[in-house]
Amino acid sequence: MATLDWIIMIGFFLCLIGIVLWVVKHKKDDTSDYFLSGRSETWLVVGAAIFAANIGSEHLVGLSGTGAESGMAMAHWEMQGWMILVLGWVFVPFYAHSKVFTMPEFLSRRYNSNTSSTLSIITLVNYILTKVSVTAFTGGIFLHSVIGINFWYGAIGLVLLTGIFTVLSGMKGVMTISLIQTPILILGAFTILILGLLKVGGGGLLDGWHEVVKFAGSNGSTNMHLYHPKGDVWYDKFPGVSVIFGAAIIGFWYWCTDQHIVQRALAAKDLKNARKGTILAGFLKILPVFIFLIPGMIASALRGKGILLFTDNNEAYGSLVRTLLPIGVKGIVVVGFIAALMTSLAAHFNSSATLFTMDFYKIKRPDASEHQLVLFGRIATISVVLLGLVWIPIMKSLGSVLYEYLQNVQSLIAPGIAAVFLLGVFNRKITPKAGEWGLLIGALIGLFRLCLMVFDPGTSFDAAQRMVTNPALRSGIFTILNINWIHFMIFIFIFTMALMVVISMFTPRAGEQQLQGITYFSQSPEQVLETRNSWSAIDVITSLIVVAVCVVFYIYFW
């Protein structure tokens, strides 16, 4: 980092202060403004915010690291632009018509209050286990590999800076910085991709790609492991077509039901802007494979040639930034990446505060003023910051590649939630008790395996003997841990849906008034007309282009 790069970074922090001051000057002390930006955002801001909320340090560090580790194997979880279209075309109308702030609030209307509370708790635990802690941890790695700052100073400083920004500026500040950082991030990442290919190819882009393919053949692969026979180490971990279904389950949960993504769509001023925003986000979501995962593969090839020196794959992207970028450009790119880390982290802080405030505090204190609700939301943000920092050492002890760790934990949280939303919206016969017990039992099954992962009795037979003396129980633990994580996720998803169908046979259904406008087949004529008037032929054509690009990608890397 040269003097010019540091000057650019100082300018960025001054810009953050300016955003906070602007928001504080124009803010309204009410929940709609603090949590949903006043439901006033255009499609451009919504699309950028959805993309920015998704792109965090798990991509800059984790996705690039898994590219260096296993090639294209994890691309399934990134080629999800088509799933964002499902949010905009199918689910946003239900959420918008119900005027909800949170996804648990939506489930409370479809099922009951117990279902809402369960989802709130699961979501908050997920944010702490996978989002806040992963972003802080990988942010520390990235800042250390690029700037040389101490890991813990970088991780804690990033979290505290973002926490202060979120507390003061709320959703409006998060949406504003998303619009600023998205183009910087994309341009900077493409610069690294092009420079990396030129470097590894000796001056030619195609030559560079051929070199990447050659090196990936001995360390991972440039295909997506859909047809390899048993015995391929990556096929055994990402087993064939099962990966497509597994990635779709996580994708549906994340893009269509997760609070921190849906909240950005709900901030749109109307259905038309919400849908167009998701279409834009669908296009943007095609990019991460090319701007993060493939650069990880490039870094691996450059390491094989002796040009880059790094031992931890999580340092792959930071090594590229440090080595390839010229003075000045490096400062701009690092600023874009720091903004990306902050935006992703701030999105989870704001969403966590929304859940705490609207699904717990407001229910307990229905007479609370708007000022009290916003104040409690700020206190909740600080609490999530502290809990995320506490989890970092535990997450580190699991020893997985970071992006793989993220998907592994989400694979235990996603299937139960996905099943409850999917059946709840498209099947009127599913009862409130079915939703309540399906969500709870699905979550408990996933939590049980997560606990086994944390205590990790399968790493050593001697360790298992010390921890579990009963042979049958020890054998059962080994069996659960040895089930492929993708197959285990698919099992939870199918089991939860089957359980909900069975419970619905013996419990009373929700009344017609409760279901009005909440399920696909209970919309009023006015709601159907509003939804129809919110899209045009351009929306259809652009959506089909997103789907076509995803299909072509799978055909090429099959």
> Residues 129-140: pLDDT tens digits?
777 777 777 778
Per-residue pLDDT of 502-549, as tens digits, reads 999 999 998 888 888 888 888 888 888 888 888 999 999 999 999 999
Predicted confidence at residue 86, as pLDDT, reads: 94
Q: How confident is the model at residue 479 (pLDDT cuts 50, 70, 90)?
A: low
Beta bridge partners of 268: 41
| Low-confidence winner among 169-173, 345-349, 425-429 (lowest mean pLDDT) | 169-173
C-alpha dist (Å) from residue 118 to 111, 121, 133, 446, 543? 12, 5, 22, 14, 34
Asked whether residue 215 carries a pLDDT value surpassing 70, the answer given is yes
- How far from the centroid of its chain's Cα atoms is residue 160's Cα? 21
pLDDT per residue as tens digits for the range 376-387 = 877 887 887 787
Asked if the structure places residue 29 within a domain, the reply is no
Does any domain span residue 415? Answer: yes
Tokens representing residue 546 in the block: 């997103």
Note the pLDDT tens digit of each residue in 220-265. Answer: 556 655 555 555 566 666 777 788 888 899 899 989 998 888 888 8
Q: What is the pLDDT of residues 87-98, one digit of tens each?
A: 999 998 888 887
What is the phi-psi region of residue 427: left when phi exceeds 0, alpha when psi lies from -120 to 50, beta otherwise?
A: beta
Residue 36 lies in a domain: no
CATH number of the structural domain spanning residue 440: 1.20.1730.10
The answer to whether residue 34 sits within a structural domain is no
What are the tens digits of pLDDT across the range 33-44?
Answer: 665 555 667 888
What pLDDT digit, counting tens, does each position of 297-336 carry? 899 889 888 888 888 887 888 888 888 888 888 888 888 7
Q: Which amino acid is residue 22, in one-letter code?
A: W
- Tokens describing residue 28: 């309204």
Main-chain phi, psi angles of 167, to 5 degrees: -60, -40
Confidence (pLDDT) at 36: 58
CA–CA separation, 137 and 141 (whole Å) = 7
In a domain, 310, yes or no: yes
Task: Read off the amino acid at residue 101.
Answer: F
Q: Mean of the pLDDT values across residues 185-193? A: 87
> 464: pLDDT confidence band, cut at 50, 70 and 90?
very low
36: its two tokens: 């949903």
Residue 379 lies in a domain: yes
Over the Cα atoms of the chain, what is R_g? 23
Residue 33 lies in a domain: no
Q: Tokens in use for 210?
A: 């051929």
Structural domain contains residue 230? yes
> pTM for this structure?
0.81
Q: What's the mean per-residue pLDDT of the chain?
A: 80
Q: Is the pLDDT of residue 459 over 70?
A: no
The total of structural domains in the chain comes to 1
pLDDT for the residue 458? 45
Q: Which of 126, 418, 412 has its CA nearest to residue 257?
A: 418
Residue 400 pLDDT more than 70? no
Q: Contact 55/282 with Cβ under 8 angstroms?
A: no
Range of the domain at 176: 3-21+41-556
Coil, helix or strand at residue 296: helix
**Which position has the higher pLDDT, 56 or 519?**
519
